[in-house]
Amino acid sequence: MKLYNTLTRNKEEFKTIEPNKVKMYACGPTVYNYFHLGNARPFVTFDTLRRYLEYRGYVVTFVQNFTDIDDKMIKRANEEGITVEQLADRFIKEYYVDADGLNIKRQTYQPRATQSMKAIIGLIKAMEENGYTYIIEGDGVYFDVSKKADYGKLSHYKLDELVAGGGERKASYEGKKNPGDFAVWKFKKEGEPFWGSPWGEGRPGWHIECSAMIKQYLGDTIDIHGGGQDLIFPHHENEIAQSEAANGCKFCNFFVHNAFVNIDGEKMSKSLGNFFTIRDIVKKYPYNVIRFFILLGHYRSPINFSDELLAAAQTSLGRISNCVSQVSFALENGADAHPADSETSKKLLDAVKAAEESFIGHMDDDLNSADAITDIFNLVTETNKAIAADDASADSLKAAQAKILELTGVLGVKLDEAKEEIPAEVLELAEKRAQAKKEKNFAEADKLRDKITALGYSIKDTPKGPQLEKIK
């Protein structure tokens, strides 16, 4: 398997620190609001990477954090007249509603920053002992980027190119030794939560939180660190600097970053106000369609959000679901009578094998879910042809159906395959219609079809008899 490594800007063969074990971390949400489609993309991307690695036999320890203390959280909590903890509790609960809807597997660990203070303080102490920090009175403890000779190796920025503040705060402080220095501990201010520390009461900087939780749950060096491309600088750059300064060893072997979700050429973000929350989108499109839409694009390519594209994704996913349902219908209506050695059966079994091999090839090539989905569609096409030919064996149809379910499962995409109990009234009308057609009373058959449609069902005549489906 090969992954594009932001650290080297090359696609590289993926090798693990320990055989068949993967230590992976992805930056989680700041829990002050419902998450939007732009936030959902990394959640889905790294859940899919985790699923695929497990499919290929790796044991994955996957950590994704909750940022439950920062400036945005303090601001909103103060506006609502509640504590930051109450705000975090509310939106962590809401996060799980949407994450579960998107079929995101629960991470091995999902720690909160505020519950990791011992690890955070320990990491800052280690940096201090190694000579990487200094104090600005009345402000906080800062990391001295000039002490890290290779600072900028992820973003490929040079120290003299960095803007003041390193993204930490908008204001510039006279006490800074370098414009890119950033706070690892911020001294307490009026109206802000605070914790005790050797340097005084305060709260952690954003970057130190992830470094500390990674060390606590995964160790000093990890295999994969993921996130959106907007986190490359300063967040991930500063994580590298802190962790390597404290631990004295390489922080991470592979940095993997997904591209933005765009609206009118601009990335979707809360700060720009051009975002659609998953909670809003799901009022019109199911969660499985949203996940499928995200995976239709390669994770390193921008994807554009529009109602038309989501509708197209829903139609495409419906094709896959319909194929699975058609196989079930065929199996219930005589497929057992077809020979295992028919040409159609052989061709379908060849398509099953080809789909699996091509799917693995594409996913091994930098998690190319877009082309992997094409492999699934190719198998759907061949399966539909086999059903239409009406001479595919039950075993070949079962194999095709199982492979479609397996490969969509690897992508974490749920199909709308659950059978609903068809009301007796609808079944009775379908029987009367079949009798009317048999008697060549087509006018009566058409009236009965209209009654079935009015009750919310479609009826399709097939070589195996009438097929009823709920209209969606």
pLDDT digits (tens, 9 = 90+) for 32-59: 999 999 999 999 999 999 999 999 999 9
Whole domain around residue 430: which residue ranges? 424-470
Number of domains observed in the structure of the chain: 3
Q: What is the pTM of this model?
A: 0.88
- What b/e readout covers 265-280, taking b as 16+ CB neighbours within 10 angstroms? eebbbbeeebbbbbee
Q: What is the pLDDT of residues 77-103, one digit of tens each?
A: 999 999 999 999 999 999 999 999 999
- Residue 242 maps to which CATH number? 3.40.50.620
431 with 391, same domain: the answer is: no
- Residue 452 in contact with residue 426, Cβ under 8 Å? yes
Q: What is the pLDDT of residue 172?
A: 55
Distance CA 254, CA 6 (A): 7
Closest CA to 167 of 158, 179, 155, 150: 179
Residue 161 lies in a domain: yes
**Cβ neighbours around 330 below 10 Å, total:** 24
What pLDDT shows up at residue 165? 40
Domain's final residue, options 360, 376, 410: 410
297: in domain = no
Same domain, 98 and 213: yes
Environment class of residue 136 by beta-carbon count within 10 Å: exposed (0-12), middle (13-18) or buried (19+)?
middle
**How many angstroms separate the Cα of 96 from the Cα of each of 45, 61, 112, 209?**
17, 19, 14, 21
Domain boundary among 214, 229, 258: 258
* Of 369, 360, 357, 365, the residue nearest 303 (C-alpha): 369
Low-confidence ranges of the chain (pLDDT < 50): 163-171, 418-419
Q: Which residues contact 353 (CB under 8 A, 6 or more apart)?
A: none
**Residue 67 DSSP class:** B
User: What's residue 162's pLDDT?
Assistant: 63
What pLDDT, on the 0 to 100 scale, is given for residue 274?
74
Residue 257 to residue 372: CA distance in whole angstroms: 19
Give the pLDDT confidence score for residue 147 in this predicted structure.
96
Per 3-state DSSP, the chain is made up of helix, strand and coil in percentages (nearest 5) of 50, 15, 35
C-alpha span between 308 and 331 (Å, rounded): 35
**Whether residues 46 and 159 fall in one domain:** yes
CB-based burial, 147-169: b 16+ in 10 Å, e otherwise:
bbeebbebbebeeeebebbbbbb
